Structure 1
Amino acid sequence: MTLTIYGCYRSRASRNIWLANELGLAFTHVPVIQVYRLPDPNAPGAPMHTQSPEFLAVNPKGQIPAIDDDGFKLQESLAINLYLARKHGGPLAPKDAQEEGLAVMWSLWASTAVESHALNIQYHMAAYPPEKRDPKLVEAALAALPGPFAALDKALAEGGGFVMGGRFTVADINVAEIVRYAKPAAQLFEGAPHVKAWLDACHARPAFQAMWTARDAEPA
């Protein structure tokens, strides 16, 4: 059985690599880069990218991450994590249908209620050079996120510091990898102390640290 994860560390593939580390899965990593990051994707010696024919054979949508699990191809990082957790089981996986529903619910909630605003914070407060930043997008994100952060903070307080099931699960990984984008806005976390403690605990896990070390070693 062979699992291949396609995508660079500086992408949503980080979610899948973190989970694979947590599960102790052996996998092959194929570093596919986003085509927009390349000045000339057709230049001789250009790395494999999201429009490379060999990658499009894995994901015709031309997006990373994607996996090939012994011939089964799947895309979308959150779906990949839910699939891998269900397949391999253990404490990170939902234990029953109710927890499976909760894991999907939290993953979709983070994707729809948090991710776009959190990415605007990441890019326009930190990642982009000053001349490319849009303060209006930051202002809108800071106005939109306190409500979702309060909801997550309440759930963590009631759930013993975890998103569901009173233990660390795939749902924590899926949500944490989205909430992480908002870290440049410290005021959001000051207003949601359970979210801050939970994210710090997630990032202290050896499996996350191994992924992040590899990410830091990857060219920006």
Structure 2
Amino acid sequence: MITLYGVYRSRATRPLWLLHETGTPFTHVPVIQAYRLPDPAAPGAPVHTASPDFLKVNPQGQIPAMQDGDLILTESLAIALYLARRYGGPLGPQDDAEAALMEQWALFAATAVEGPALEILQAPEGAMGEGIVKVAAERLRRPLARLNAHLSGRDWLVGNRFTVADINTAECLRYAQGHAALIAEFPDVKRWIEAAQARPAFRALWAARQAEPG
């Protein structure tokens, strides 16, 4: 049985989306980030990333983490790739070439997209924040141009079907969606991410996320 540790308001959305897509049974342990709690050491505090029991699972104290039998994984994109290979059916790779492409898109998302996208999401208000957003948006234009070109004439990233590659990449890019003008510069990217987020599994995921405390 799969056990997934992490709340919906975290990078756990990546494997959680995949699990919602597949309907694979799993146990969800909603470990919250310790920094979000007023006093993580208070009696009755929920299980969090600095809790001794969770640190036995991931000594780095980060979510998500996943245990499947004797296997423990502690990186969200790797967890999603593993779940897709083992339980995902058409969401996972059907041959070695597809496996390589799905790994490539995960690395692309992690190295070229997530950093500047997070800077856009977390930028403070005011002139300083505007400057951060401007620089981050410029850093995103090159990877978004590549993504847009790849999606021209196709609906999904790999194998002409929705896969874990779309989940991992869309979830990294989601952080930048608040910059609507930037996303609009890349119409095929905009079409693709909106189609991904229109899927029932994503809507169920997002409803669960919205139901969690902020």
Q: TM-score range by the shorter chain?
A: over 0.9
Distance of 1:132 and 1:103 partners within structure 2? 38
Distance of 2:83 and 2:93 partners within structure 1? 11
Distance of 1:168 and 1:58 partners within structure 2? 31
Which of 125, 130, 139 lines up with 1:144 in the alignment?
A: 139
Q: Which residue of 2 aligns with 1:98?
A: 97
Q: 1:21 to 1:132 in 2, by over 3 A?
A: farther
Residues 106-133 of structure 1 deviation map (CA, whole Å, 9 limit, x = unaligned):
1001110010100111111xxx5x3796
**Residues 107 and 175 in structure 1, CA contact (< 8 A), matched pair in contact too:** yes
Q: 1:132 to 1:109 in 2, by over 3 A?
A: same
Q: Which residue of 2 aligns with 1:5?
A: 4
1:161 matches 2:155 = yes
1:123 matches 2:122 = yes
Gaps of 5+ in 2: none
Measure how far apart 1:27 and its partner are.
Answer: 1.0
**Residues 120 and 141 in structure 1, CA contact (< 8 A), matched pair in contact too:** yes
1:215 matches 2:214 = no
Residues 162-193 of structure 1 deviation map (CA, whole Å, 9 limit, x = unaligned):
11111100000000000111101111221100
Q: 1:89 to 1:16 in 2, by over 3 A?
A: closer
**Residues 6 and 65 in structure 1, CA contact (< 8 A), matched pair in contact too:** yes
Alignment coverage as a number of residue pairs = 214
Residues 77-118 of structure 1 deviation map (CA, whole Å, 9 limit, x = unaligned):
000011011112411111111110100001001110010100
Q: Which residue of 1 aligns with 2:113?
A: 114
1:204 matches 2:164 = no
Amino acid at match of 1:217: A
Work out the percentage of aligned pairs sharing the same amino acid: 54
Gaps of 5+ in 1: none
Amino acid at match of 2:27: T
Distance of 2:186 and 2:79 partners within structure 1? 29
TM-score, scaled to structure 2: 0.96
Q: Which runs of 4+ in 1 moved over 2 A?
A: 130-136
Which of 158, 168, 171 lines up with 1:177 in the alignment?
A: 171
SS at match of 2:90: coil
Q: Which residue of 1 aligns with 2:83?
A: 84
TM-score, scaled to structure 1: 0.93
Amino acid at match of 1:206: P
Q: 1:54 to 1:133 in 2, by over 3 A?
A: farther
**Residues 123 and 133 in structure 1, CA contact (< 8 A), matched pair in contact too:** no
Q: CA RMSD, aligned part only?
A: 1.4
Distance of 2:87 and 2:43 partners within structure 1? 40
Distance of 1:132 and 1:75 partners within structure 2? 37
SS at match of 2:142: helix
Distance of 1:41 and 1:136 partners within structure 2? 34
